[in-house]
A and B are shown apart, each in its own frame.
Chain A
């Protein structure tokens, strides 16, 4: 059996329909045959009654007809339609019999017209309708026979059979087409499940919708539960990694304190080694934290818009307190809401990384602009600092890259911002600002709200 559900359903449907139609063909042929035999028999009986009505016996006891049947087929030789009236003394026959005679039998009933099939003249099979009558009081028995050749009925039946077969074949094709449509419509919910699964693969936060037919629903529900379980596991693993990273920070600070004390007591070599180990561990912790953050964002539910102004103002309030920004003014021109598919706290992280960098290099002014067109939502951060050249641009955006190796921070800065932007489907480009410094341009495609 084929592995395709579609092929299997179609094969079963077409076979079943074929069997049903073949049975119908046989039944209809049988019915048709009986029907035309009955029709012909009735016609023959009517002719027989005409014969009886015009029948009398002459004095010799031979049959005599006042009027012979008018149907022209009775006059045409071997036309296939015959009549014969016979007594013991003699008989009358239709001209169509020519010099042949219908065989006289004894079996005919005196009470009703009887029908039988027997061989007649020219060895042809005939349908007989016959009866014995007694036209006068003498009680002479007269056998009245009317016959019709079977062959012409057979021809009609065969013709009907062929036409019926053709029609039923056509019907079969139509029913197969209908079955195909039914199978396609029936399988469509599965196609939808497949499409939804594809988006589930892309984003672990996606789920199958709840509007499936009753038969598919348990499957969709099971898949959703599986996805929930997977997401919980992922979340747990991620949270553990973050917790571990955070938990390591305080002991690292404690270790740094020990190292400082060791240095004060003259253990310079040990202290140098410790410091190197602490720096390596800190770097590992920071990179793990940033990686987990990007992963969290990539899987986070997206709202269609974000309160950009609050995010920027919040970050600026922090940076304004740092020494780097003691002389820097932040010119903020950002609308309250921007249609960026990013969570509020992720935008805060993104702007934090970029604005901290901008404040570090700015001389007097950091300008933050947000705007939205029909296709894009943009956030631009520029400063009036020294700016960077094209070579440094690539380095600045590479993970761990830093424009100024002497600056504080953890060596992530713009690279973290790029990861954050890309995790939410945005892009970051660096350019020269008209203020003289660096222009960081963040851009997201605007998705039309559904």
Chain B
């Protein structure tokens, strides 16, 4: 596993390097934005830890350039600021997770591992149902040629439906799959989830079979 650490404060950078090293990563360190942009552009990393306050080129710009150049490895943003506006900007720029300083090293390692597991635990494959294309490696989706940002839960929901080959799936079954065990009241959450996914993809993307459950529309691309 290769990790890139982008951090200009030497003590924090060393600390991160030692910690990720100890967690079994092969670690590169970039001290400024230009260096980070270069390393991220030419090397294949499994994960990057990116500080936002950087000399020469700020972290958000580095991230936007990586994503613009199709460098899709998961990125965890580190920032001295803890305001939500910056978190939102970071996620919108393509970050996968966010930690504010000062942080617990244990939490950082756990989050980095989660990011890597999310991406690497799956075979790199795509599933296509109708106009929906799911990329199980990146946990991303395209609908009618349009990229869609999905939460983990939404992705797992669509992934499950996509694997049922036109079988309608009941709310109870979905709850059991998504939450491990269904509890009373879960059907409300499943309904809300369907509404939310429909809003992202389009009303017609998920059809309701009355009395049976939900099924992905398969009207061809």
Residues in A lying within 8 Å of B, measured CB to CB:
246-247, 249-254, 256-258, 260-261, 278, 282, 286, 289, 293, 314-315, 317-318, 320-323, 325-332, 345, 348-349, 351-353, 363-365, 367, 384, 408, 410, 435-436
- Given known pairs A317-B88, A365-B189, the reply for A278 and B102 (CB within 8 Å) is yes
Q: How many residues of chain B get a CB closer than 8 Å to chain A's CBs?
A: 45
Which of B59-67, B178-186, B201-209 is near enough to bind chain A? B178-186
Q: Are A321 and B97 in contact (CB under 8 A)?
A: yes
Interface residue? B114 (CB, 8 A): yes
Which of B27-35, B123-131, B146-154, B211-219 is near enough to bind chain A? B146-154
- A322: chain B residues at CB < 8 Å are 97
- Given known pairs A254-B12, A254-B15, A345-B85, the reply for A282 and B179 (CB within 8 Å) is no
Contact partner, B15, options A260, A345, A436, Cβ 8 Å: A260
Q: How many Å lie between the Cα of A285 and that of B92 in the bound state?
A: 27
Q: Are A253 and B101 in contact (CB under 8 A)?
A: yes
- Given known pairs A249-B102, A250-B12, the reply for A320 and B88 (CB within 8 Å) is no
Residues in B lying within 8 Å of A, measured CB to CB:
9, 11-12, 14-15, 53, 80-85, 87-88, 90-92, 96-98, 100-103, 105, 107, 111, 114, 149, 151-154, 178-179, 183, 185-186, 188-190, 192-193, 195-196
Q: Are A315 and B88 in contact (CB under 8 A)?
A: yes
Q: How many Å lie between the Cα of A358 and that of B82 in the bound state?
A: 18
Q: Are A328 and B15 in contact (CB under 8 A)?
A: no
Contact partner, B101, options A252, A315, A408, Cβ 8 Å: A252
Q: How many Å lie between the Cα of A253 and that of B81 in the bound state?
A: 13
| Cβ contacts A to B, 16 pairs, < 8 Å | A249-B80, A249-B101, A260-B105, A278-B102, A282-B102, A317-B149, A320-B154, A321-B97, A323-B114, A329-B192, A349-B83, A352-B88, A363-B183, A364-B186, A384-B188, A436-B185
- B80: chain A residues at CB < 8 Å are 246-247, 249-250
Q: How many Å lie between the Cα of A317 and that of B98 in the bound state?
A: 12
Q: Could you tell me the distance in whole angstroms from the C-beta of A93 to the nearest C-beta in chain B?
A: 118
Q: Are A321 and B151 in contact (CB under 8 A)?
A: yes
- A253: chain B residues at CB < 8 Å are 9, 11-12, 15, 101-103
Q: How many Å lie between the Cα of A332 and that of B189 in the bound state?
A: 12
Chain B, interface SS category: helix
- A325: chain B residues at CB < 8 Å are 151, 153
Q: Could you tell me the distance in whole angstroms from the C-beta of A230 to the nearest C-beta in chain B?
A: 26
Q: Could you tell me the distance in whole angstroms from the C-beta of A330 to the nearest C-beta in chain B?
A: 7
Q: Could you tell me the distance in whole angstroms from the C-beta of A315 to the nearest C-beta in chain B?
A: 6
Q: How many Å lie between the Cα of A318 and that of B84 in the bound state?
A: 9
When C-beta atoms are compared, the residue in chain B nearest to A351 turns out to be B84
In the complex, the 7 A-B pairs of residues with the closest C-beta atoms, listed nearest first: A352-B84, A257-B15, A320-B151, A364-B189, A254-B11, A314-B88, A331-B192
